[in-house]
């Protein structure tokens, strides 16, 4: 008899929905169906059963083809690589559990690695801004229960966080928001009319690259100071009208994404949006939140935070201190400048996301990639080590976009013989200890 696993946490995006119901075969090996997930989340569970799962490590041959090797061989090769390299990039982590990250950090400390996560090409800009000016924020339940003004600035949850609007930000009826979306005014600020804009009450089209200037104009208007006629394509009358409306809110929230993190100025765009939010707290209650992408990039930031004091780009190569400087200890810069000698990728796909020059540089160095599947990165690595899918085949802690921690569940068994990230990293850690005791590689 198939059985239903309830309260399942979706391991795809930062919305971290925890109300999924997954139907599983009697023998615990196959997922038969998923309820409540969005299309992306459902796909993550459903593709678990597709044929062609990689079950053994693969090693690149001289002719570019891959040959299967044993886990022990792969672990030994990896440990040797790590011990020998003077500076190793250990990047990814955003799709694995906090428990696994912790073991990875132990290894990084011993071998002098740099631990970086997907924020480095995503919300790293937001983290820089928060490092500079802090952030007034809240949990998603506060938005659900209190918010009567919601601004989506430079983000498109309709595509990237599909259930966000129904679970938290537009439609739910909460304690103080019994009218649901009818009691909220929704703004969407973007350079193009997105599917999210279709759900908004008002769409403001900002000239591409002018978000910083427009936010500056909002702050200027909030202080009652004079404005130029238009800013970023938005007339000053509209700016003043919006600011007055926001001041009359009971609880306002700004959600933002790549429209701010990846346009001109990057962290400065978020920095000034945070300052606007802070200014609005002089008049009413306002909060701001980053729409984190990967389901556990926030978790990587948290574990790095409590173990080393920084949220990403943590350089442990000096081994007696942890250092952090975006632009120096960040993955793309390290690769572009050829500042590392080896690469270890886990729970991510930089081959698909990083600038091409950085990956060309990466492909020239000894590289190990740990991932359940073949992806762009595995095909330019020396070794690809398969592991279980976290949140599907093994559980582990994850942090939502508002930093709320939720323990993901194991729903089915991993393919026979496939290790979990925790098991693999533990074995690598142990092998590194053996090599270091012998006096290096």
Q: Is 223 helix (H, G, I), strand (E, B) or coil?
A: coil
Q: How far apart are CA 233 and CA 205, in angstroms?
A: 7
Residue 268 touching another protein (CB under 8 A): yes
Distance of alpha carbon 59 from alpha carbon 67, whole angstroms: 5
Site for another protein in 73-132 (CB under 8 A): 85-87, 98, 102, 106, 109, 111-112, 127-128, 130-132
Contact between residue 165 and residue 157 where contact means Cβ atoms under 8 Å apart: yes
Residue among 74 and 138 whose Cβ is closer to another protein:
138
Backbone torsions φ then ψ of 180, nearest 5 degrees = 60, -135
Residue 142 or 371: the one with the smaller Cβ distance to another protein is 142
Residue 223 touching another protein (CB under 8 A): yes
Binding span for another protein by CB under 8 A among 184-192, 345-353, 396-404, 418-426: 396-404
CB nearer to another protein: pick between 120 and 194: 120
Question: Exactly one of 309, 352, 355, 360 binds another protein (CB under 8 A); which one?
Answer: 309
**8 A C-beta contact, residue 412 and residue 30:** yes
Contacts of 425 (CB under 8 A, 6+ apart): 100, 103, 104, 107
Q: Tell whether residue 141 is a contact of another protein (CB under 8 A).
A: yes
Length of the chain: 441
Query: Residue from 301, 350, 366, 372 that binds another protein (CB under 8 A)?
Result: 301
Question: Contact between 180 and another protein (CB under 8 A)?
Answer: no
How many C-beta atoms lie closer than 10 Å to residue 321's C-beta?
9
Q: Does 161 bind another protein (CB under 8 A)?
A: no
Binding of another protein by 255 (CB under 8 A):
no
* Long-range contacts, 67-73 (Cβ 8 Å, 24+): 69/383, 71/385, 71/419, 71/424, 71/427
By CB under 8 A, the residues from 8 to 27 that bind another protein are 9, 18-19
Smallest gap from Cβ 221 to another protein, in A, equals 8
Buried b / exposed e over 104-128, threshold 16 CB at 10 Å, is: bbbbbbbbbbbbbbbbbbbbbbbbb
Q: How far is CA 428 from CA 252, 314, 380, 432, 440, in A?
A: 48, 20, 21, 6, 15
Side-chain-side CA neighbours of 374 within 13 Å: the count stands at 12
What is the C-alpha separation between 49 and 60, in angstroms, rounded? Answer: 26
Per-residue mark of binding to another protein, 185-214 (x: CB under 8 A) = ---------------------------xx-
By CB under 8 A, name the one of 77, 91, 295, 308 that touches another protein.
Answer: 308
Q: x/- string (CB under 8 A) for another protein, residues 49-78?
A: ------------------------------
Shorter beta-carbon distance to another protein: residue 146 or 294 = 146
Alpha-carbon radius of gyration of the chain: 23
Q: Figure out which of the listed residues 2, 33, 180, 228 binds another protein, where binding follows CB under 8 A.
A: 228
Binding of residue 136 to another protein (CB under 8 A): yes
> How open is the CA angle 275-266-201, to the nearest 5 degrees?
65
State how far the Cα of 344 lies from the Cα of 91, in Å rounded to an integer.
6
HSE-CB of 412 using CA atoms within 13 angstroms: 29
Among 12, 187, 218, 295, binds another protein (CB under 8 A): 218
Nearer to another protein, 45 or 66 (CB): 45
**Residue number, 202 or 339, with CB nearest to another protein:** 339
222 binds another protein (CB under 8 A): yes
CB 175 within 8 A of CB 118: no
Q: Does 235 bind another protein (CB under 8 A)?
A: no
340 counts as binding another protein under rule CB under 8 A: yes
Contact letters (x/-) for another protein, 370-389, by CB under 8 A?
Answer: --------------------
Of residues 76, 148, 202, 341, which one binds another protein by CB under 8 A? 341
Minimum Å distance from CB 234 to another protein? 10
Instruction: Evaluate whether 192 touches 209 at the Cβ level (below 8 Å).
Output: no
Which of 23, 336, 375, 403 is the binder for another protein (CB under 8 A)? 403
């Amino acid at each position: 008899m198939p059985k239903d696993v309830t309260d399942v946490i979706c391991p795809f995006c930062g919305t971290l929905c925890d109300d999924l119901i997954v139907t599983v075969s009697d023998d615990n090996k196959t997922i038969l169906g998923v309820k409540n997930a969005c299309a992306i989340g459902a796909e993550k569970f459903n593709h678990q059963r597709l044929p062609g799962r990689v079950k053994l490590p693969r090693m690149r041959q001289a002719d570019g083809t891959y040959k299967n090797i044993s886990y022990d061989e792969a672990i030994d090769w990896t440990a040797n690589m790590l011990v020998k390299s003077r500076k190793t990039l250990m990047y990814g982590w955003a799709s694995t559990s906090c428990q696994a990250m912790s073991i990875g950090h132990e290894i990084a400390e011993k071998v002098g690695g740099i631990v970086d996560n997907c924020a480095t090409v995503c919300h790293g800009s937001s983290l820089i801004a928060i490092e500079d000016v802090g952030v007034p924020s809240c949990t998603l339940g506060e938005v659900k229960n209190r918010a009567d003004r919601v601004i989506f600035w430079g983000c498109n949850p309709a595509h990237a966080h599909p259930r966000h609007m129904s679970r938290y930000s537009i439609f739910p009826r909460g304690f103080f928001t019994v009218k649901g979306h009818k009691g909220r005014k929704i703004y969407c600020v973007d350079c193009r009319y997105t599917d999210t804009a279709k759900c908004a009450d008002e769409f403001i089209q900002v000239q591409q690259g002018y978000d910083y200037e427009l936010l500056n104009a909002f702050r200027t208007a909030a202080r009652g100071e004079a404005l130029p006629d238009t800013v970023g394509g938005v007339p000053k009358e509209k700016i003043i009208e919006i600011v007055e409306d926001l001041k009359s809110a009971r609880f306002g929230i700004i959600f933002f994404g790549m429209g701010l993190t990846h346009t001109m100025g990057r962290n400065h765009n978020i920095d000034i949006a945070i300052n606007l939010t802070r200014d609005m707290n002089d008049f009413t209650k306002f909060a701001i939140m980053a729409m984190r992408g990967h389901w556990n990039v926030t978790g990587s930031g948290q574990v790095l935070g409590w173990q080393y004091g920084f949220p990403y780009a943590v350089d442990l190569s000096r081994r007696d201190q942890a250092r952090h400087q975006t632009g120096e200890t960040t993955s793309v810069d390290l690769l572009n400048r050829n500042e590392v000698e080896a690469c270890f990728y886990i729970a991510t796909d930089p081959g698909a996301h990083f600038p091409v020059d950085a990956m060309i540089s990466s492909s020239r160095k000894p590289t190990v990639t740990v991932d359940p599947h073949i992806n762009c990165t595995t095909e330019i690595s020396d070794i690809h080590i398969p592991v279980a899918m976290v949140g599907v085949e093994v559980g582990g802690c994850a942090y939502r976009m508002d930093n709320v921690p939720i323990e993901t569940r194991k729903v089915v068994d991993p393919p026979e013989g496939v290790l979990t990230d925790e098991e693999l990293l533990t074995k690598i850690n142990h092998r590194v200890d053996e090599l270091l005791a012998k006096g290096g590689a």
